[in-house]
Every structure is written in C-alpha cells, then in structure tokens.
Amino acid sequence: MGVQLPTAFVTRMEQLLGDEFEAFMAAYDHTPHAGIRVNTLKIPVEDFKERSPFELRPIPWCPTGFYIPHGTKPGLHPYYHAGLYYVQEPSAMSPVELLNIAQDEAVLDLCAAPGGKSTQIAAKLQGSGILVTNDISADRTKALAKNVELYGVRNAVVLNESPDRIADAFPHFFDKILIDAPCSGEGMFRKDEDMAKQWETHSVEKCVVMQRDILRVAASMLSDGGRIVYSTCTFAPEENEGMIAEFLEAHADFNVIPVPSEAGFGPGHPEWVSEEIAAAHPELLGTARLWPHLVEGEGHFIAVLQHQGGARVDSAADLTESGDLAPSKQHLPVREALLSNGQGRRTEESVRTGKGMSGKSGKGKNTRGIDSNKSRIGKEHVKSAARSPHDVLASYRQFVQEQLEVSLEGHTVVYGDRIYQSPLASHRLDGLKVVRPGWFMGTDKNGRFVPSHPLAVALRPSEAIRSINLSSSDAEAIRYLKGETLSVSVERMELRHGAQPKGYTLVCIDGYSAGWGKWQDGMLKNEYPTGWRWTSV
C-alpha cells in the first residue's frame, strides 16, 4: 500500500465496513482518478469534445465533467490559460450538481476556496443572478478570486468573512447554499498523503464544532423553500449523518431530499452514529456516500436539505419597511455618483456621505437589490478616491463606449482607482471584508482607464472592437502566455465598426479570450499579467 494510513482510522473503518473493508483498503493501491470540468461560460461541452487535446471519458454524475488519462497535464495547455476547463477531482464535482441551480438565483458558496465549486456554480447561472463566494481564510481567498476571474465569471462577489457576519448582512437571502464543510479529510488520504499525516491533529471533534456552527448560520441565510447542499470529504459519521441528524432536530422545517444512487453512490449510514439516530431519522438513508472502491473518485458525503417553505418571522432590525435588507450598522465612507447610462437616460441619483444613510430604491430593482435593467453604466457606488468620482468614472465610461460592444449589468463600483461591475446594490457589502465586489474591469491611472485581465478573459471576441486570434497548436500562443511581444500584421486583426488597428486588442486562442495586447505598427505589446503567465519550460 502506497499510503500510510493512521492506525486508529483503519481500525474504525474495519468496524464500520465489515465485509466491504478489504475492497475499501484495496482502493488505496490504485492511482487517484484525474478529471477536468468544461467551463460552459466560455465553450459548450460538445464544442470542447470536438477540440479537446485530451482523451475524454464522461463522469457519470457531472454532465460537464470528464476523466482524463493518468499522467495528463491539463495545466500545461493554452486552453487552461484561456479558462476552457477546470482541473477538478471527479467526486468533488457532485455536490454542485445536487444544488439544482436555476438561472437568476442567488447562490452562496460558503467555504469556497480554491474555487472549483464556485466556477461550477457560475457556469450553472450563465451570467444571471448572483454568486457570493466566501472563504474565512484570507490567504485562500487569493486563489479563490483568481479562479473566479480566470474562468470569466461576471456576476460573483468574493468575500473573506465569517458565516455569522455574512448572515447579518443577508438574512433569508439565498435560494441555494453550498457548504463544502471543513472536515477531517479522510476521503482525500489516497490523493493527498499530507492529510493522512495531519489527521490526528485535525481532529473529528474540532471539525464537528465548526460544522455545527456553519450549518446553523447557513439556515438563517436561506430563503423560504431554498436548498442547502452539505458535503464533506470524510468518512467520519460524526461529521456526516450525525451532523445532519443534529441539524434536522433543530430545524423541523427542513427535509432531506434523497440523492439518486444511479451513479454508484452509496446510501447514508445513520446506524454508524447510533441505533437511536437510525430509528429517529430514517431519511438519513437518503444522504449519499461516495466510496473510492465503488466509484471512480475519492471519498465524499453529501446531504441535500430542502426548506419546506412558508413565511418566517423576521425581527424589525433585519428588514426595512420595503422588505429590503436594512443597511449594515457598519459603513465604509461612500457616496454614489450620477452618470448617464450611455443611451441618453440617467440612473437614479443617490448620495451616501456617512453612517446610517442609504440610497433610494431604484426602478427595475427587485427585493434583493439586483438591478434588473441592463445598461452600459449601472448605478455607481464610490469609495473615497484621490480623484473625484466623476473623473474616475469618466475614463471607464469612455473606454466602454469606444472599445467594447457589451451590455453591462448591475452597479458600477469604485474602490480607490479600481472599477468593478457588481451584481449587488452598494449598501449590501458595507462593513464586510470584500475581496472582489464584482467583475474587476480595470483601474484609472491619472485619467486613463487601464482594462484588467479579468475583463479580457470574461469577454467574447465579438464584444471587443479589436481582436487577434492565435492558434493553440502554434508556439506563438505560448509565447504570448509567457509575456513576449509578438509581431502581428494588421491583416490578422479583426476590426469592428471601422475601428483603427492601434490600441487595446483582445487576444484569443482558437477563438476564446485569453488576455489583452496593445497593437501598434505591426507589433503586439503583451499585456498578459506577470502573476498569470505560463511558467513551464
């Protein structure tokens, strides 16, 4: 056996599994399965299958997921840098599929880093609704934000907060909540030997305390009739069936939705917690366990918790008279600017200069504060900047009008010299630790707007007035991803609406956006950011 398993873990699994124990242990002699998930924000599954550089085999429980052969290096292909797929452990693709996400919903990924499940949620939403993705670790949110940006997500807010503080700002707000709970990690021992080594210090008991609090708080953020999917990558019944039984006893308005077993998922085992729990909660048989000896993936547990619906009683402190959320008691110094939306109309004026002052409710806005009207420039929310809000936004507005063919939704948010398009009204994020308030569009540098890399990778070629296409089979694409300047004739450029060739150019690989360049006199100056570049030899 290649993996050195903790003795206490092996003893417990032998007691629990009985006749299945030998098959379970034999799985540790097998190589972990590798998978990728197609990013349908950028490419349909059928199109990717036609051009895939890898041999693909479908993952039964995820229609966008595929096994790839062992030894394949999907991170060393230009398509990875273009965000066409996410490299993900196959079992980890299952929880999001069970959320049953519909477009226009508000979805929370509560324990999200490094962001694989968040990008999967975003693909389900297809640019509609809201994705709030959070991790309590500041260091881990760096990878989370980068993955959200790499995969072209336009409608996500990235937070670095505790669940309690998010709940204070968003009571009964989300249609769907994913809890990929921190756990003892037993299901990942085959894939990550360090987790086996750390198992005794990262104890089941410590994890149970965290999971209990996370579930409790998540219930308070779920809308009536909403759904929570709770998942772990551990086998410990205390963190799985035991945790769900405890939740159900405290929340009589939730049901367990049985997980289909067609994909080879095993049933829950409430009897492993106790015979009393098994008798009191037979519905726990409808939770799911993914076993490495039964499916081609690592160990997981999944429970689908459905709220039964019906009105809840909220305190006056949670709601305003309109039914919208009250502004947080903690406010950043902000004021909202009024600008034209680029079509002769003007957005509603709202000014906030201090604590306790909220903007007026705008037309076309639902009770979540989402601006349902599409416009080039939405409502603006400005944090104090060295230059005036009007000056900061003027260069951005000019760039959008002159360089892009895209209809921007939501609210234009300015933090210092950084400009974002946010799916949330400005006051919703006050007092929270915000890593990204929305789609990062770029920065204002002394009156000149500099478009961001996340803006580029989320655009379609038709949304930029200049673009250039590189071939993934040509060394030129890799040279671009390494940050080199390229020689590009003007004849190769795609120019729209009589645009001049000089200026910012969307660089695409096989027709899929990968970043910016600046073309002038036959040379494409590379704008690919240093921290994102191809680093392999």
Q: Annotation-wise, does 111 bind a ligand?
A: yes
User: Is 349 found in the same domain as 238?
Assistant: no
Has 233 been annotated as catalytic?
A: yes
Q: How far is CA 454 from CA 36, 459, 528, 532, 533, in A?
A: 21, 9, 11, 11, 14
201-254 pLDDT per residue, tens: 778 889 999 999 999 999 999 999 999 999 999 999 999 999 999 999 999 999
Q: Tell me: do 452 and 474 sit in the same domain.
A: no
Average pLDDT over residues 520-534: 95
> Over the chain, what is the mean pLDDT?
86
Q: What is the pLDDT of residue 311?
A: 54
User: Pick the residue with more confidence: 271 or 387?
Assistant: 271
Give the ranges where 94-237 is alpha helix by DSSP (H): 94-97, 116-125, 138-150, 163-169, 193-197, 204-221
Strands, DSSP E only, in 69-195?
Answer: 85-87, 106-109, 130-134, 156-159, 174-180
Of the pLDDT bands very low, low, confident and very high (cuts 50, 70, 90), residue 421 is very high
> Is the pLDDT reported for residue 117 higher than 60?
yes
pLDDT in tens, 136-195: 999 999 999 999 999 999 999 999 999 999 999 999 999 999 999 999 999 999 988 888
Q: What is the pLDDT of residues 345-375, one digit of tens each?
A: 222 222 222 222 223 333 333 444 443 333 3
- pLDDT computed for residue 384 by the predictor: 43
114 is in an annotated binding site: yes
Note whether 79 and 111 are same-domain residues. Answer: yes
Q: Are residues 365 and 432 in the same domain?
A: yes
The pLDDT of residue 46 is 98
Task: Supply the range of the domain harboring residue 109.
Answer: 7-307
Question: How many angstroms separate the Cα of 340 from the Cα of each of 18, 66, 344?
Answer: 69, 46, 7
Exposed e or buried b per residue across 24-57, where buried means at least 16 C-beta atoms within 10 angstroms of its C-beta? bbeebeeebbbbbbbbbbbbebeebeeebebebe
In this prediction, residues 419-437 reach a mean pLDDT of 92
Residue 156 lies in a domain: yes
Residues 270 and 237 both lie in one domain: yes
* CATH code of the domain in which 523 resides: 2.30.130.60
Tens digits of per-residue pLDDT, 291-349? 999 999 999 999 999 999 875 443 323 322 233 333 232 222 222 222 223 322 222 22
C-alpha to C-alpha distance for 135 and 139, rounded to whole angstroms: 9
Name 449's bridge partners. Answer: 444
Query: Which pLDDT score, from 0 to 100, does residue 168 have?
Result: 96
Residue 164 DSSP SS3:
helix
Domain assignment present for residue 438? The answer is yes
Number of domains forming the structure of the chain = 3
Q: Is 29 annotated as a binding residue?
A: no
115 in a known ligand binding site: yes
Q: Which of 62, 183, 233, 508 is catalytic?
A: 233
Clarify whether residues 242 and 263 are in a common domain.
Answer: yes
Looking at the chain, the number of H-run helices and the number of E-run strands are: 15, 26
Model confidence at 497: pLDDT above 70 = yes
The answer to whether 529 is a known ligand-binding residue is no
pLDDT at 335: 20
Tell whether 195 and 54 lie within a shared domain: yes
Is 445 annotated as a binding-site member?
A: no
263 shares its domain with 381: no
- Are residues 240 and 350 part of one domain? no
325 domain-assigned: no
CA-nearest of 22, 362, 314, 350 to 171 is 314
- Domain boundary among the residues 456, 482, 501 is at 456
Do the Cβ atoms of 416 and 439 come closer than 8 Å?
no
Query: Which of these three, 272, 289, 307, is where a domain ends?
Result: 307
Q: Residue 60 has which token pair?
A: 């039964």
Run of H or E including 67: strand 62-68
Asked whether residue 137 is assigned to any structural domain, the reply reads yes
142 is known to lie in a ligand binding site: no
In a domain, 537, yes or no: no
Is 265 strand, coil or helix?
Answer: coil
Q: Are residues 490 and 418 in the same domain?
A: no
483 annotated as a binding-site residue: no
Domain boundary residue, one of 431, 456, 481? 456
User: Is 112 labelled a binding residue?
Assistant: yes
The two tokens of residue 15 are: 């007691």
Same domain, 452 and 469: no
Residue 172 counted as domain residue? yes
Does the pTM surpass 0.95? The reply is: no
What CATH number should be reported for the domain holding residue 198?
Answer: 3.40.50.150
Residue 313: inside a domain, yes or no?
no
Question: Do residues 348 and 379 lie in contact, with contact meaning Cβ atoms separated by under 8 Å?
Answer: yes
Instruction: Indicate whether 273 and 346 sit together in one domain.
Output: no
DSSP letters, 370-382, are -B-SB-SS-EEEE
Nearest to 25 by CA among 40, 38, 15, 10: 10
Mean pLDDT of 45-70: 97
Angle at 261 between CA 250 and CA 43, to 5 degrees: 100
Flag whether 2 is in a domain: no
Q: Which residues contact 254 (CB under 8 A, 6 or more apart)?
A: 219, 228, 247, 248, 305, 306, 307, 308
